[in-house]
Each structure stands twice: as C-alpha cells, then as structure tokens.
A and B are shown apart, each in its own frame.
Chain A
Amino acid sequence: MDALKAGTSAPEFSLPSTPDQRVALSELRGRPVVLIFYPADWSPVCGDELALFNELRDEFAKFDASLLGISVDGAWCHTAFAKDRGYHMTLLADFEPKGEVARQYGVYRSKEGVCERALFVIKPDGVIHWSHVSPIGVNPGVDGVLHALESLPRSAS
C-alpha cells in the first residue's frame, strides 16, 4: 500500500479529538493542514517527533496551518498523553473502525496494526501538496513540512 501522493484529493474524515469532540478535515478547508500520522502514543520516538512539531507551533502559525496528529490510540489515551507531555496540538483517534483513515491515506501497517510515520501537507483547497513516509524508527524532523508549506502557492486571502 503506497501513501497518497501530491495532486491527490485528500480523503475526507471526521475523527474524535477528545472523548466528546470531533474534527472533520472539511472544516479546515481554506487553510493548509499538516497531518502527522504516527504509530503510537507513549513510544519515545513518537514523543520526540510530536515534541518538535509542538515546539514549532509559532512557525506553523505563520502559515496559518492546522496541525493534526493521528494514531490508532483512543481519545482518552490521547488526552492523557498530551497532558503528560505538555502538547497543545490536536491529536485525532483513528480508533474505530481502527486505522480506517490511515488506510485511506495508504499509511496503515496492517501487520502491526498501527499507522506509518507519515506526513501530509494538504493545500487550502483540499488537495495533497506533499507527502512523506519515514522508516518507522526514524524521527523525520519538520524541515520537510516547512519546505512544503513555503512552496504552497500564495492564497489570495
């Protein structure tokens, strides 16, 4: 299964961000969206990767970009994880049906039952602008995402 490539329309989803709230991709139309698929809450590598995105929220704000972390962990788990690590970004639970959104984006590892470590930058019009899949143990850093956001066509907004 290959990750969706640039030029593909980003599949719509609506996932829980907390035990009683949901976020739909279509709600974010009109601004860039960064999807950060990661294998699991609590594993040290993921923590580092999200820590870096969390640290650079001001940089992403310059692009008016929404950052969404996605894993197959449940909303309660995400809430505890974000609180423990001091993360302020939205973490979405691709929990039921498990991994359905990751499958749509071509980044589900069915053998292990987790998401790939994958990044997508989605343009304000909902089309994928850039995607990248890292080896599961490698923190991809954020420079690729920053470059992708910089190369977005300037919107008229």
Chain B
Amino acid sequence: MSLTIPVGADDHIQGPETAPITLVEYGDYQCPYCANAYVIVKRVQHQLGPLLRFVFRNFPLSQVHPQAELAAEAAEAAGAQSMFWEMHDALYENQPALSPALIGALAQGLQLDMERFEKDLASRRFREHVKRDFMGGVRSGVAGTPTFFINGERYEGSWDEPSLVNALKATA
C-alpha cells in the first residue's frame, strides 16, 4: 500500500525538506506501542540526522482510547502556536497520566496562550484536521498504530531501532 496523501503543507515535519528519506508515522497518543515508537523514532532521527525527514499524522482510535482524540486536537492546537512537537513529545512522555487536566498542565508548561488553547479545544477547531489525517490513513491501508510509511510505501517490517534504521538507509 502507498500513502494516498503526499506530505504537504498541512503536515507537521521535522528535518530538512531536501532529506532523501521521509518517514511518515500514523500514531495515537494513547497507544502504548506508539509510546515505544516515539522513543525509537527519536533515536533513529539522531542516528540519521539530516538524511531523515519525519512526519507525524493523527490516527486516534478514540473508541478504545478515550483520551486520544483530545490529545490529538491538543497537539494541533499547540501547533497553531508553533509548539506542535513540544506538545507531541510531552504527550508521549506523560502518556500513562493522560487526562484533560494533564493536557492543560502541559500546555501551561509550554507557556501557550491558554485562552486561545482552551478556546481551540472547546470549539473543536482541529477536529476536521484530525479526521482528515485519520481518513487519509484509512485510505492508505492504515489498520492500527503505529503504522509507518517510508518514502510513501507502507513499511511492514519490525520497527525496533536497528531494523528501522536499516530499512530507512536502504531507501536512501
């Protein structure tokens, strides 16, 4: 399966635009496997440096993970204040305690404009964005989290650090 929605302006991207390798992850902030993947992706980014561009897209399974949708919208709301990755990292690092109160505390810790942040969450401003990510994932054959795409092709292999690094290097 290939990625149906190419990486674009709507995406949250780390790494240079000219990087020869693009890794896209569909993830859920309340998924324990994604919390493991979070640590691994960080290490892989460290290893590959400017060779790698990393993109995170939302795939919250909110029926089984009741905090996942709120967390996804909170990360987007932080993104509107240029703090997407800071919130993304904080959510995974605090996953076991995920709750509306924790998300508020994380936002405060990042010194976000709280009035705006809370308004964006209350109005569900980023609901459509999250849904668009989700449906794009569904159409690309994403069936669970985390699912990775390397240069637009679904990665079916193991995502432990050495396997992922090898797979990424092989496409460069």
Contact among B62, B64, B141, B144 with A85 in the assembled complex (CB-CB below 8 Å)? B64
Distance between Cα atoms of A52 and B143 in the complex (Å): 7
Q: Closest residue to A86 on the B side, CB-wise?
A: B63
Beta-carbon contact of B63 and A51 below 8 Å: yes
Interface size on A, residues (CB 8 A): 19
Contact among B63, B141, B143 with A49 in the assembled complex (CB-CB below 8 Å)? B143
Main DSSP-derived SS at the B contact region = loop
Q: Is B139 close to A, CB under 8 A?
A: yes
Q: Closest residue to A45 on the B side, CB-wise?
A: B144
Interface size on B, residues (CB 8 A): 14
Beta-carbon contact of B139 and A48 below 8 Å: no
**A31: min CB distance to chain B, Å:** 22
Distance between Cα atoms of A130 and B66 in the complex (Å): 33
**A98: min CB distance to chain B, Å:** 28
Beta-carbon contact of A55 and B63 below 8 Å: yes
Mark B99-142 against chain A: 1 for CB-CB distance below 8 A, else 0.
00000000000000000000000000000000000110011111
Residues of A within 8 A of B142 (CB): 141
**A132: min CB distance to chain B, Å:** 13
Q: Given that A48-B143, A48-B144 are known contacts, is A143 also in contact with B64, CB under 8 Å in the complex? A: no
